[in-house]
Amino acid sequence: MFNKHFGSLHIFVRVTALALTSLAFLAIPALAGSNGFSKTEIQFLYGHNFHLGGAGFGPPGSDTFDDTSERGTITLDHLSTWEYGDNFFFLDLTNDFNTPTNTIASTNDKTLWYGEFYEHLSLAKMMGQKRLDWGLIKDIGPGVGINAGTDVVHMLAGARAVLDIPYFNFVSLAAYYYDNVEDPFNRDLDETFQLTAVWDTVFKPTERVHIRFKGFIDYIGDQSVGPIKVREQLQIVPQVRLDVGNLLLGKPGRVEAGIEYFYWQNKFGTELDDDQTIQALIAFKLH
């Protein structure tokens, strides 16, 4: 548990994250286009049973409205590498279709937005190597992130290790210092930490059948508002996709369709609701 004695540290984290993020956004077009890898896709998702969204939440046992949202999401997802590191961001635009008018949520908007941006440096690249010869660890480096959306802003700083795992294209583990800048319930939360795992792999049982398995896990430590404890949070979000473009047209990596399992324990640290749903998805590669 972090506390307000880390005031100077969280100010430093905010300033550093903002500065590096601004530089990264300016550098992405030139660096990714010249000597790096770049991939952007748009995803369309549909699911239900989302808590504390546009449907809000109401008195226990209320039969006037359901406190869960039926949700459609459009996600813009981007990954690019450059000479000394990589950039990743996504932006979600969500619309809740069954929003009642008598909710007591922090926001009653039907359409919400949320995005995350991360910039990581690569020790291997800075040393002029393709990878580190550290056994399981093939790269390591510092990183900063900004998570922002409707009524919420978080800033992060930490380090990430990229692992060499057989049959996986990418696996990483990261640990971040986690600072709440804006909270959807206007709570003055203290600082904590976030642990993140990310993975991506493609299984190819036949020449035309390619199945992608990717996702992430976030664990956010417990926090407090004065004497009031706010619970830890856990998000588990894997996707399983079939490469439809390759199956039907022999063109891999263009169009993928499948499902996403979305689990969020102690959503916003409230202890009121857990999100647990399966969403249908289709993804189109833009470049």
What pLDDT, on a 0 to 100 scale, did the predictor assign at position 205? 96
If pLDDT is split at 50, 70 and 90, which confidence band does 103 have? very low
pLDDT digits (tens, 9 = 90+) for 256-283: 999 999 999 998 888 777 889 999 999 9
Architecture of the domain whose range is 4-285: Beta Barrel (2.40)
Site of tokens 């949700």: 71
pLDDT at residue 76 greater than cutoff 50: yes
The full set of domain ranges for the chain reads 4-285
* Residue 59, helix vs strand vs coil: coil
Q: Show the CA angle centred on residue 120, arms to residues 119 and 125, nearest 5°.
A: 135
Instruction: Categorize the per-residue pLDDT at 26 as very low, low, confident or very high, splitting at 50, 70 and 90.
Output: very low
37 contacts 60 by C-beta, under 8 angstroms: no
- How many residues make up the chain in this entry? 287
User: What tokens does 168 get?
Assistant: 């996986």
How far is 89 from 270, CA to CA, in rounded Å?
Answer: 26
Q: At residue 69, what is the residue type?
A: S
CB 164 within 8 A of CB 136: yes
